[in-house]
A and B are shown apart, each in its own frame.
Chain A
Amino acid sequence: MALPFWEIIYRSKSSPILEEKQFDLELFKKGQELKKKYGIKYEPQAPVDVDGDLADRVYQAGVELFLHLGAYCTTTKRAIKVSEAELKEEIASRPEAVEMGQGEDRVRMVHRDVEGTQEPIVIAGIQTAPFSNEEMMFKINQLCAMDRCVDGIWGGILLKIEGQYEVVAGAPSEIYQYRKTVEILRRAVSAAGRPGMIIINNAPSSIATIAMFDEQCGMRRTDYMEVTGMSELKVAYDDLNRTAFALACGINIHGTHSSTIGGFSGNPEGAAIAAVAGSMQEVVIQKAESFRCGVTDSRVKSRISRAELWAAGTAIQGISRNTRLIVDGSIGDHPAAGPGTKQYLYEAAAGFIVSTVMGAHSTEGTRKFVVGDTPNYGTPLESRWMGEVCKGAAGMSRAQASELVKYLLEQYEKYLKDAPAGQTFEALYDQTTLQPTAEYQKLYDEVKAELRDRGLQFRS
């Protein structure tokens, strides 16, 4: 680490006070100025940038944006800024690989190149989703962990304690239940025969997240601490509490940031630039060894719209081409459609193909975008899909990915705003054999065959 974390904290308290609104408006103005300066243009008919020149310009613009703005600390109402030399030194000091998990379940997450054949690490599971009870949570996660194309599990939450007391963020119930959640996850991966497997969860508050770490029965130093930044280019002390704990204990730090199309970064070009800037924030401010370079689209409840694919994909490509950093893409993690539908598989495939081909891992699980308080709204088959697509797309060319993504967009794009809701685990899996229903398996196999015919080289 080039710039000490405590220097970041010092700057968060000693820089001039700045109104948050001014920071937000400057993000928009500077982003649009850089869009012009670097000639960055989103062409909807080309959702995948195939030559890299555009991605390089997005990277340069993103770095310039971060150096101009810094990251806004909402706790102290100040922008934390770094110099160009400090940023370069920080990037150079980051590892090209981190080892995660233990024993036979240990994996090495390395910097991935664009079109690279390096193994994409897949942390699947029904991320942040509610489960109806302990037994169901155990069962679903055990089945997810049994899939060999999955390297880790991102957990969810049991919404009731003892089946009756509500779990709410910021309350004692949050600490108790998130802790119980990771204990269930640890037991589930052990029962799946993978005791050293990575498990991840991230509670709303830092105190509850920290409480999940326990070498015996919870999250371990060899998993990772997710340090979420706030959208867009913001961070709070509650985020940085996680960094402080991880640094003190030697836990891998994984940052996440999302710029927002329709938010203060504006258009898709602005969001791509801000996605790079946000990634720089994760590296310098949150001290992440790996990070999610994300984009959301405020206009749809899916993270795989055409504009998101372009903006996130181009930003990831820019970082992968210009640094040796370890990037997480996870673009396919939140489809609009629900489980048990072809649309879910199409949306997820488009996102995970772009993530992988552009040089990223996918470590943020997979689930329907809107789950509400419906429990068990996902199955192990979507986790398998995530794993199969990511591993299968490693080494694919951007040109081939572009054709495949265009085909996939044709299948789902027009249904994004009125996507099929899908069904829960109880409806999609035989509850006795714990296998997908024949109908769901057939649907899965059909989509897999369709993509195989179009050039996706599944490993099995």
Chain B
Amino acid sequence: MLLFLEQVLNGLQLGVMLFLMAAGLTLVLGIMNLVNLAHGSLYMVGAFVAATVAGWSGSFMLGLIVALPVTALVGIAVEFIALRHLYERDHLDQVLATFGLILFFNEAASMIWGPRALFLDGPAWLSGAVEIVPGAPYPAFRLAIIVVGLIVAAGLYLLVTRTRLGMLIRAGASNREMAGALGVDIKLLYTLVFGLGAMLAALAGVMAGPIYAVEVGMGEHILILTFVVIVIGGIGSIRGALVGALLVGLVDTLGRAYLSTVLKLFASPATADGVGASLASMAIYILMAAVLVWRPKGLFPGHG
């Protein structure tokens, strides 16, 4: 039971990180109608910058503080140089161009930082464990990720529903021409949203650093999971991104932890381990297919 609680928390932690990625991606998708495969590259850039600064200064927090604006600037530069020319194009062109950007970012990262993985230690004051219920210690850093993610989710909700910027974002999403005609500086708005998305990706990347390895290609793995989240949640919907992310995080983590055990009730241990492992790695895709059969536009159809 305690182990189960731990796995649920692990699932939440993965879900929260996916949400940080999915929120940025779905904002860019919903508002600018731009498919940005290079979103995963921003996640990677954030992690690498933080690992470098932390390695040099010995402080995780300093790494985080530097990585966020640096990644936002990288994102804004990419938007300014390349993506700006693609808003009017169809999705195919966007996929192709941002695929090119991924190749560039991955290769550039391995040129700058080398092919080997970097290590990023979490802050010392979060290195211990917290007893959530008596007798069930849980790593404080992972717990912190969950808390940060939920705070960001609440902040994004307030930003989008309660502030002037959020109003402009919603206006831009539902009718770009009209918002522009009413005097909203769409170009500036786009750049801001893109920078915000980049910063969220960097936050996810930095927090992933101490848990997973900081290496070239880390962005693509999470990018594809993020796509699954967005497809499940519905394109353009932040609420959908949150629900989808938590769902994917939980299904993936619990599937890996328990599918083999459950299958052992029905099959021989060897078969159960083999089938369980492959089913577990496919579980979220099966979930996605199931959701789509039921609701082809995702759980919370936005303005895709």
A binds B: no
- Measured CB to CB, the residues of A under 8 A from B are none
